[in-house]
Amino acid sequence: MERLEAQLEELEILYRYIPVGLCVVDRDLRYVKTNQIYAEVVGREIHEVVGHTMHDVVAEPAREQATSIARRVIDTGEPVLDVEIRSRFRGNLAEERIWLVSVHPVHSGDCVTGSLAVMFDVTARKQLEEKTERLWQRQRLESLGVLAGGIAHDFNNLLHAILGFTELAQTPLDPSAPSHADLEQVKRSVTHGTELCNQLLNYSGTGGYIFEPVDFDSIVEGVTQMIQLAVSKNATMRIDLAGELPAVNADASQLRQVVLNLVANASDACEGKSGIITVSTRHLHCDRAYLSGCHPAGENHPTGRYVSLEVSDTGCGMPPEMFARIFDPFFTTKFTGRGLGLAAVLGIVRAQRGAVKVTSEPGRGTSIEMLLPALDSSAPIRSESRAWVADWRGSGPVLLVDDEPEVRAVGERMLELLGFTPLVASNGKTALELYRKHGDRIVCVLLDLTMPHMDGEETLRRLRQIRPTVKVAIVSGYSENIAQRFEGKGLAAVLKKPYRLESLASTLRGIVEGGSPSATLGRRSTE
């Protein structure tokens, strides 16, 4: 012990001024020497540390880890380097500090007489690393979103051509013909493909939305049969609707997708065992505390009245470490090929200015709650109507502008079938030339929004310069809320790809007979 103390005296200046925590303990884990920084770490004065054991000084949860390391170094004579210890020793239990600790044996001759611990406060560095990692993760997800949106856009054009030509082939057939039923199956397959495209577009943040006042209860009631099909046979389905809910401003088709995705995830969580899945709605006032743990994280969700749609299950639940990843695309604990559902849900909710709250406990199930701001009670709830009449025909030239040959081909055939004379342009420049030549006779312009060189928005602006009263319907499967984006610009209609013949007819009829530029704006184009 005298030899050890003599060595320590030589290091007194180093102990006093070095900007790290230092301490020496003997074989009984009793403090022989410490400096001021280490004393501050454990929230004591130096004289309250020296002479006491680590068991007396170090508080939980770090006590067991710290004493175990010191004992191992003393018993083996081997150092333990760069161990991360998290502590709340500074008297402020809300402030967690992160220390990088290295412990070295102290020798007297051939004997190990104690251990020396060196502690570096790396809290700021770790926080910077975590922040940088979150930034990189966000950039990776944004890049993936761009890729997903591009793939979905191109695939949507292919589906549009398949659907359009299938309908054209089906039109002259007798409904009882076997080939008519085969073509109907092709159309159903295209519909499933369109739903997958919509999930990719929603994840990328570029999905097409048509916002209108809708009722949560009617959304759930409308997909009740599909919900039952999505649930495992061993699970019990419960639906608890509040009734008389205020409306929310949302896209009804996207909300239906959210419900189906959440129910499918809840069914997976039951792992084929007996369980209870509950779909419920309610109207509530959300304060800052309630919204603080919602996703998307970091957004300042406003307090106030919300309408809630909650899907809960009594399945396996999730450990806390999974929470940070549940909305990552393709993250899943299930078999390969699953996992886009919750990422798509978050994309839909974000676009509709809502929030998602997740609570879960291993072995006790999970609850996922979607919150959308409630509208004023006087807001009318719109219902979808079908304006298609099978024998309706129009006349006159319609300018079709799209950069995809397949889309132009099927659109041209559809326009001819509906009685119009198609004028076709593959880009904005050609469209302007055709409109300058035939603009006084053109009934309507069907304008693709996403084109190279001159996009639909720029083409629309230049068409307006030629003739301010031009009637333009924007056609796209790759756009954020188009109606809102073009609000006040005299847009005649929005037609979402892939559209069916009846949707095209309904849109054109609204333009021709409606008279008002907004007559078909906001009408849902897929039915």
pLDDT of 444 over the 60 cut: yes
In single-letter form, the type of residue at position 413 comes to R
Count of structural domains within the chain: 4
Q: How confident is the model at residue 362 (pLDDT cuts 50, 70, 90)?
A: confident
Comparing CA positions, the residue from 160, 249, 253, 237 lying closest to residue 202 is 253
For residue 147, tell me if it sits in a domain.
yes
Q: How confident is the model at residue 445 (pLDDT cuts 50, 70, 90)?
A: very high
Largest CA distance in the chain: 109
d(CA 495, CA 519): 13
Average pLDDT over all residues of the chain: 79
d(CA 348, CA 333): 22
Rounded to an integer, the average pLDDT of 395-423 is: 92
For residue 69, the domain's CATH number is: 3.30.450.20
Q: What local confidence, expressed as pLDDT, does residue 329 receive? A: 58
242-255: pLDDT as tens digits: 988 899 988 777 78
Same-domain status, 447 and 326: no
Which of the residue ranges 9-18, 27-36, 191-200, 343-352 would you say has the lowest mean pLDDT?
A: 191-200
Same-domain status, 220 and 197: no
Comparing CA positions, the residue from 47, 49, 51 lying closest to residue 59 is 49
Same-domain status, 254 and 343: yes
Same-domain status, 499 and 479: yes
Q: How confident is the model at residue 517 (pLDDT cuts 50, 70, 90)?
A: very low
Rounded to an integer, the average pLDDT of 350-368 is: 85
pLDDT of 198 over the 80 cut: no
Q: Which among 149, 179, 204 is the end of a domain? A: 204
Q: Which among 373, 389, 421 is the end of a domain? A: 373
Sign of CA dihedral 418, 420, 425, 429: negative
For residue 238, the domain's CATH number is: 3.30.565.10
Q: How confident is the model at residue 200 (pLDDT cuts 50, 70, 90)?
A: low
Give the Cβ contact number of residue 383 at 10 Å: 9
For residue 235, tell me if it sits in a domain.
yes
What phi-psi label fits residue 490: left (phi over 0), alpha (psi between -120 and 50 degrees) or beta? left
Same-domain status, 193 and 232: no
257-268: pLDDT as tens digits: 788 888 888 888
214-241: pLDDT as tens digits: 888 888 887 777 677 667 777 888 999 9
Rounded to an integer, the average pLDDT of 355-364 is: 86
Report residue 121 CA to chain centroid gap: 35
Same-domain status, 500 and 364: no
108-134: pLDDT as tens digits: 888 899 999 998 888 888 888 878 877
Better-scored residue on pLDDT, 155 or 506: 506
Rounded to 10°, the helix 123-170/501-514 angle is 90
pLDDT of 523 over the 50 cut: no
β-sheet bridge partners, residue 100: 84, 120
Of the ranges 125-134, 289-298, 436-445, the best mean pLDDT one: 436-445
Domain that holds residue 491: 397-514
Same-domain status, 221 and 369: yes
Contact between 120 and 85 under an 8 Å Cβ cutoff? The reply is no
d(CA 309, CA 254): 13
Percent of the chain with pLDDT over 90: 25
Comparing CA positions, the residue from 442, 496, 500 lying closest to residue 467 is 442
d(CA 503, CA 524): 9
Same-domain status, 498 and 421: yes
Same-domain status, 229 and 358: yes
Q: What local confidence, expressed as pLDDT, does residue 103 receive? A: 94
Q: How confident is the model at residue 291 (pLDDT cuts 50, 70, 90)?
A: confident
Q: Which two tokens stand for residue 209?
A: 């939305």
Q: How confident is the model at residue 307 (pLDDT cuts 50, 70, 90)?
A: very high
Which of the residue ranges 97-106, 194-203, 468-477 would you say has the lowest mean pLDDT?
A: 194-203
DSSP, collapsed to helix, strand or coil, labels residue 83 as strand
pLDDT of 145 over the 70 cut: no
Q: Rounded to the nearest 5°, which phi and psi values hold at 470?
A: -60, 140
Q: What local confidence, expressed as pLDDT, does residue 80 receive? A: 93
Same-domain status, 224 and 343: yes
Q: What local confidence, expressed as pLDDT, does residue 230 receive? A: 65
pLDDT of 516 over the 50 cut: no
pLDDT of 201 over the 50 cut: yes
Specify burial of residue 336 (Cβ count, 10 A radius: 0-12, 13-18, 19+). exposed
25-76: pLDDT as tens digits: 999 999 998 888 888 778 788 888 999 999 888 877 778 888 999 999 999 9
Contact between 215 and 245 under an 8 Å Cβ cutoff? The reply is yes
Rounded to an integer, the average pLDDT of 493-502 is: 83
- CA distances to 186, 261, 467 from 199, in Å: 20, 10, 38
User: Rg (Cα) of the chain, in Å, rounded?
Assistant: 33
d(CA 158, CA 305): 42
Q: What local confidence, expressed as pLDDT, does residue 385 receive? A: 38
Same-domain status, 173 and 222: no
For every residue of 460-510, which 3-state class applies, written as one string? HHHHHHHCCCCCEEEEECCCCCHHHHCCCCCCCEEEECCCCHHHHHHHHHH
For residue 211, tell me if it sits in a domain.
no
Say which DSSP state 54 is in.
Answer: H
